[in-house]
Homo-oligomer: A and B are copies of this chain.
Amino acid sequence: MSVKFSRYLPVLDWGRRYDREALSNDMIAAVIVTIMLIPQSLAYALLAGLPPEAGIYASIVPILLYAVFGTSRALAVGPVAVVSLMTAAAIGNIAETGTMGYALAALTLAFLSGAMLLVMGVFKLGFLANFLSHPVIAGFITASGILIAASQVKHILGVRSEGHTLIEVVETLIAHLGETNAITLVIGVSATAFLFWVRKGLKPRLRALGLGPKMADVLTKAGPVAAVFVTTLATWALGLSERGVSVVGEVPQSLPPLTMPSFSPDLLSQLFVPALLISVIGFVESISVAQTLAAKKRQRIDPDQELIGLGAANIGAAFTGGYPVTGGFARSVVNFDAGAETPAAGAFTAVGLAIAAVALTPLVFFLPKATLAATIIVAVLSLVDFSILKKTWTYSKADFFAVAATILLTLGFGVETGVSAGVILSVGLHLYKTSKPHVAEVGLVPGTQHFRNINRHKVETHEALLTLRVDESLYFVNARYLEDLIQDRLASGQKIRNVVLMCSAVNEIDYSALESLEAINTRLKDLGIGLHLSEVKGPVTDKLGKTHFLDQLNGRVFQSQYDAWRSLTGAPRPLPASESAA
């Protein structure tokens, strides 16, 4: 019983060994992460089209629940840029920003996504996330970064703009360009410039001043806090909010409220696909961060348990005024670098944010939205990386095609179309590649027992014997290809009396391929030609053994290709016997 119970509660494992040293390390990490998260949470809520406090609420209970159910020691769960954008895209078509319906839809999206993650975790469906290929993810993140940055330009200019595709955003921006507010523009541009400088120029300078690398890192991460502090002070002191500068305004001073998602079947069905995409994208982002950090300390991440941890976090967000969350890259790296040892660091961060929610919210009344937009722009532009296009172009045109299409479709048709098309393309291209497998006609390398491609090597062949090495598992997508190939080859080789299929790289033969082999066998039998197999793998032999195929085979199954050659050409044996075992 207890073994099973603890499978779902990793906290029981690390909690038992928790000591004073781990406590102090976790506390320090928590303070640093809390300071970084306050502006970030407000900014991402803005990006998702939600009131700023939703970002803070989404960082409190979810972090606590992940600390109980998650397996990563350093992952920090909360609102992240891409998921915030996807939330805005999903809800934007359903309700108006700022309405109750919008916030309710966000809670429902978090609930649905949490439920999906939990179900995937319990049924161990974590492998589903693998259907997103790395290049597709890279392309999607790059395109999302551009979309997010573009969507924030309106706050820098102080104008209105909307849309879920790059074209829509740019069009509405241009239409409203005349309404630009000069003071907002000054704040926005200086904050952006400052934050870029902090990111690129400050760290080397701090190191030059003799600070340790860790301290320099922490100060660099505090850049947004400084920007928030200075611009808020200026806006308050100079009364800029009365001169057209949009500010965050009143944020309720409270702990996360108890909220209920909607269970309306209509809303649930409208949000089903977006929730699935958010779950998968969120899980993929989170698990890569968690694995990268765990590997550095030779720790283990259990993907299926991660699904449960993230599922619990999202359901927590749904009931406490939040919106969809996942493990964020930036916050997790800060947490790890600051020395977090266990998920307790996350729990302490939650406490810190709860204090902020109660005590500090009045202080952000005069915080300009332009400053928050600047922090988002600087954060997401670091995600934009077109080098994946060049890398995949060199390595594999199919991968290049998938990533280019994902980028273009995400920018042109929005995140949901982009990521769906990416998945479909990756799968389609993979199937296409395996649909025309590499099949080599092989011959004997003289003086050895090895068989190589007749087109690449000087090998011995025999006009009555055709040997084909199939370099792919045989399954329905390529089953007919082999039929065609053999038929073509026989049409041009009228003297062939025996065909050998060398199966050393055939990892599976599915039922369609079995039927194709039966068809090939029957056709060859009708023509008086033998069909033989060689070097068939154990699991494949086991499976074929369950059928009548081997009994009906108009030929033999040889352990090694050399055995087949000797037997079918009557050639003498040049090398000792010990070598021929498959």
Contact surface of A with B, Cβ cutoff 8 Å: 127, 129-136, 287, 291-292, 294-296, 298-301, 303, 391-392, 394-396, 398-399, 426-427, 430-438, 448, 450, 456, 471-473, 475-481, 483-484, 487-488, 490-491, 504-505, 507-508, 510-512, 514-516, 519, 523, 526-527, 537-539, 543, 546-547, 575, 578-579, 581
Other-chain residue from B294, B546, B578 in contact with A395 (beta carbon distance below 8 A): B546
5 A-B pairs within 8 Å (CB atoms) are namely: A133-B476, A133-B510, A291-B483, A395-B546, A438-B539
| Majority DSSP secondary structure for residues of A touching B | helix
Q: Judging by beta carbons under 8 Å apart, are A537 and B130 in contact?
A: no
Residues of B within 8 A of A296 (CB): 523, 526
| Complex CA distance for A77 and B545, rounded to whole angstroms | 39
10 cross-chain pairs, A with B, having the tightest CB-CB distances, nearest first: A133-B476, A134-B512, A399-B511, A295-B523, A133-B512, A127-B435, A471-B507, A134-B515, A130-B477, A135-B511
Copies of this chain present in the complex amount to 2
Are B300 and A491 closer than 8 Å at their CB atoms? Answer: yes
Which residues of chain B are within 8 angstroms of A292 by Cβ–Cβ distance?
Answer: 519
Query: B134 to A479, Cβ gap below 8 A?
Result: yes
Report B-chain residues with C-beta under 8 Å of the C-beta of A472.
473, 507
Known: A448-B581, A523-B295. A510 touches B399 (CB 8 A): yes
CB-nearest residue of chain B to A295: B523
Q: Specify which of B127, B480, B508, B539 is in contact with A130 (CB 8 Å cutoff).
A: B480
Instruction: Give chain B nearest CB distance to A279 CB in angstroms.
Output: 17
Choose among B394, B432, B526 the residue that contacts A295 (Cβ–Cβ < 8 A): B526
* B396 close to A477 (CB less than 8 A): no
Q: How far is the CA of A237 from the CA of B474 in the complex (A)?
A: 61
- State which of B303, B456, B512 has its C-beta within 8 Å of the C-beta of A135: B512
Query: Of all chain B residues, which has the CB nearest A130?
Result: B477
Please measure, in the bound complex, the distance between the C-alpha atom of A448 and the C-alpha atom of B579, giving whole angstroms. Answer: 8
Q: A450-B581, A491-B298, A579-B579 are in contact. Are A132 and B476 (CB under 8 A)?
A: yes
Chain B's closest residue to A131 (CB) is: B477
A514: chain B residues within 8 A (beta carbon): 395
CA distance A300 to B510 in the complex (A): 26
The CA of A136 and the CA of B515, in the complex, are separated in Å by 13
Chain B residues within an 8 Å CB radius of A432? 127
> What distance in Å separates the Cβ of A320 from its nearest Cβ neighbour in chain B?
32
Residue contact B510 to A131, C-beta cutoff 8 Å: no
A475-B430 CB under 8 A given contacts A399-B510, A491-B298, A512-B134: yes
Write out the residue numbers on chain B whose beta carbons fall within 8 Å of the beta carbon of A450.
581
Q: What CA separation (Å) do A135 and B511 show in the bound complex?
A: 7
**In the complex, chain B residues whose CB is within 8 Å of the CB of A431:** 131, 427
A436 → chain B, closest Cβ, in Å?
A: 7
CB–CB B395/A300 < 8 A: no
4 other contacts beyond A394-B547, A398-B510, A399-B510, with CB at 8 A cut-off? A131-B476, A437-B507, A448-B581, A471-B539
